[in-house]
Structure 1
Amino acid sequence: MSEFKYQLTLDPSNPKPPTRDHASHPDSLPEAKKTNVHPKGSSTGDENASIYFVGTATTILEWQGLRIMTDPNFLHAGDHVHLGPGVTGTRLTNPAIDLHEIPPIDAILLSHYHADHFDEQVEASLSRDLPIITTPHAKEHLHDSKEGGEKFTAVYDIDHFENMLLSVAPSNSSSDGKSPAIKVTGMPGKHVPPGPLAVINDFLGAVPPTNGWMIELGYKAGSDFKTGYRIYISGDTLLIDELKEIPKRYPDVDLMLIHLGGTTIPGPKMPLLMVTMDAAQGIQLMSLINPDVTIPVHYDDYDVFLSPLEDFKKAVTDAGWDERVVYLDRKDNYKFLVKD
């Protein structure tokens, strides 16, 4: 097990309250507005895991009593976020649910320290001992530079192709000694295109470094880990050469959550630089990763998104890939089967 940078044991019977005021939270997510299964209609009714779409890049993964949240952003329509020097974005939508409606969770996956993925209200409200898996840059802001009670105490920094194992407490093991586990690996991502602007950004630190994630749901027996379902989350990246390494290492991806929107800065009135994939790059990433199913997220929640979802839908149809994509509205979920 020495391959893992970190190992963390989770106890589904005692998940962390999401907010540090420890106010009463519901035991479960609200019922989904629509439940989706495999787009080819191949459901057998035995799905045992789900992705719940809250909005922008915020999703909640549920499996085997575990609940993992990605990129928590719970601002409402009309709220503003700071995205860099002189750059702001305005939220156009409401999240499916509010932060106080989130049931207890076990961990957060934070792709990068940017306000449209980890807003100020979230940062002020979250429990300080809630495990957060994120970039080294984000750890500096959440742990290293904070003092006293403001410091997040369980931040795990994962760089590209580093990984950690989330194990379930032994009491949850089956009679054959297998216990659920989640392997999380940082994937490459670049929020700014390579070249002179990237060099300038590295100096100014205007746009933070970002991760994608490979999430492998599976079972651990002794020192062995067997993957039962593999999810790739692109994170806020452009289509860069480094992504070509992913299918070499992971030729079989069951599900891809792709961040789209063609995010453009400084903003819609002056769209000078695109910092997330648009429809054209998104369809190229589908071709590169070749996942069984793709779900687009991060495409219409802020006014800096200039590549509408309809453009991606058209590109998918033109490619003949309609049976490979599931479209979730906020408060929808997608159910799937993790094999043992």
Structure 2
Amino acid sequence: MQRIFIDPENDRPATRDLPSGVTMPGDLPPPKEVKFHPSEYGSEDASIFFVGTATTIIEWAGIRIMTDPNFLHAGDHVHLGPGVSSTRRTNPAVDLHNLPRIDLVLLSHYHGDHFDQKVETSLRRDLPIITTPHAQSHLTNKDADSFTNVSALDPFTSVMVEVKGTAGPKRRRLRVTAMPGKHVPSHSAVESLNELVNAIPPTNGWMLELGVGDADDATDFVYGYRIYITGDTLMVDELKEIPKRYANKRIDLMLAHLGGTMVPSPALAPLALMVTMDAKQGVQMIRLIQADLTIPIHYDDYEVFASPLDDFKKEVEKAGLEGKVLYLDRGDRFGFTVREA
């Protein structure tokens, strides 16, 4: 298993180009609202801050993990493939240069609404990033301006993230395992064409496990909280392997990328291609994964999103799954508890 190291005591900005007079804050901005799992209220020691699109910041034991950094503002444009662009409708809950220290980035794929042009220019080059082999090749092939700490994972391979400054039999550790994902339908003419033209990049989901292990044993790990992040995927057969591999293993939380993204544009339906789950597929995913709780993200930030959050809420109610879903707005925080090993 690969190992990478993060150092929460290295108090450096996430970006390398802080504007003159701007100082890195010590923390995220106060949340608009804090929400909890009903059974854990009062014991939480970790949190997820929803920035917008698929960007979240997960905090636990002094560690900050950022997913799919996208910090464009309303009216900004992203490139999503040959001849395809989209305009952002919303603003992020925190600006890129107002981020506190970030220790690790999980990047599901190399797409402008997940790793925008400002992020690519600004992020510190030695910031640890875990991503797909495709994204790694782009991030590390920039002549003198490449990212220098990028790890690539294929589906169902893992990396152990060691936290510097912790030791002993209960050293804090993160285990990140890549999960399958498909932006285009499997075994289809569209998939074959995409393999030729590389218009839509390959994507991963993630199983992020927060836990501890013996500092003297690189393989020792006991999880305390397990988060499945779907990444941009459709409901495809490859996902059925996840509940098989995690049978009898609790998945505490699922962050579900929704939106029913249509390319090149929802206005061209039925000729447009759906490349992320819509409301109905989101409910199918809840039933497949059986996570204790699901939080939908990536649902209304760009013009290419065709399945709004209200559609998902209706499908959840129709399925009688209201107790399994929690909704966050940009700027909200979800508090949860990492169990002691």
TM-based fold match above 0.5: yes
What is the CA distance between 1:231 and its match in structure 2?
Answer: 0.2
* Structure 1, 10-19 or 292-301: larger mean CA deviation: 10-19
SS at match of 2:125: coil
Counterpart for residue 159 of structure 2: 164
Cα deviation per residue 1:44-99 (whole Å; 9 max; x = unaligned)? 41211100000000000000100000000000111111111111111000000100
C-alpha RMSD of the superposition: 1.1
Using the TM superposition, give the Cα deviation of residue 157 of structure 1 relative to its aligned residue in structure 2, in angstroms: 0.5
What is the CA–CA distance in structure 2 between the aligned matches of 1:273 and 1:205, rounded to whole Å?
A: 15
Tell me, in whole angstroms, the C-alpha distance in 1 between the residues paired with 2:154 and 2:51: 26
Equivalent residue number for residue 198 of structure 1: 191
CA contact (8 A) 1:286 1:294 kept: yes
Check if 1:275 corresponds to 2:275: yes
Instruction: Identify the residue that residue 27 of structure 1 maps to in structure 2.
Output: 26
SS at match of 2:221: strand
| Structure 1 letter corresponding to 2:146 | K
Count of matched residue positions in the alignment of Structure 1 and Structure 2:
329
Aligned residue among 48, 51, 58 for 1:61 = 58
Question: Which structure 2 segments of 5+ residues have no match?
Answer: none
Partner residue in 2 for 1:10 = 6
Work out whether residues 111 and 134 of structure 1, in 8 Å CA contact, stay in contact via their aligned partners in 2.
yes
The answer for the alignment partner of 1:86 in structure 2 is: 83
**Is 1:215–2:212 an aligned residue pair?**
no
Are the aligned partners of 1:189 and 1:236 in contact in 2 as well (CA < 8 Å)? yes
Give me the whole-angstrom Cα distance separating, in 2, the residues matched to 1:15 and 1:239: 40
Corresponding residue SS for 2:235: coil
Question: Per the alignment, in what secondary structure is the counterpart of residue 17 of structure 1?
Answer: coil
Q: Deviation at 1:42?
A: 1.7
Where do 4+ consecutive residues of structure 1 move more than 2 Å? Answer: 21-24
Give percent identity, aligned residues only. 58
Residue 216 (structure 1) shift? 0.5
89-98 or 20-29: bigger deviation: 20-29
The alpha-carbon distance between structure 1 residues 213 and 15, as it changes in their structure 2 partners (threshold 3 A), is farther
Letter in 1 for 2:258: L
Which AA in structure 2 matches 1:159?
D
**Helix, strand or coil at the partner of 1:287:** helix
The alpha-carbon deviation at position 21 of structure 1 amounts to 2.5
Q: Which residue pairs with 2:178 in the alignment?
A: 186
Q: How does 1:126-165 map to 2 (within 5 A)?
A: 126-143=123-140, 145-148=141-144, 150-165=145-160
SS in 2 for 1:172: coil
Report the counterpart of residue 333 of structure 2 in structure 1: 333
Partner of 1:51: 48
Residue in 2 that maps onto 1:257 = 255
Quick check: 1:15–1:106 contact (8 Å CA) kept in 2?
Answer: no
Which residue in 2 is equivalent to 1:245?
241
Q: Which residue of 2 aligns with 1:117?
A: 114
Given the two structures, how large is their TM-score scaled by the length of structure 2?
0.94
Q: Are the equivalent residues in 2 in contact too, given 1:16–1:106 (CA < 8 A)?
A: no
1:241-269 superposed Cα distances (whole Å, 9 cap, x missing partner)? 01000011113210000000000011122
The aligned counterpart of 1:266 is 264
TM-score in terms of structure 1 length: 0.95
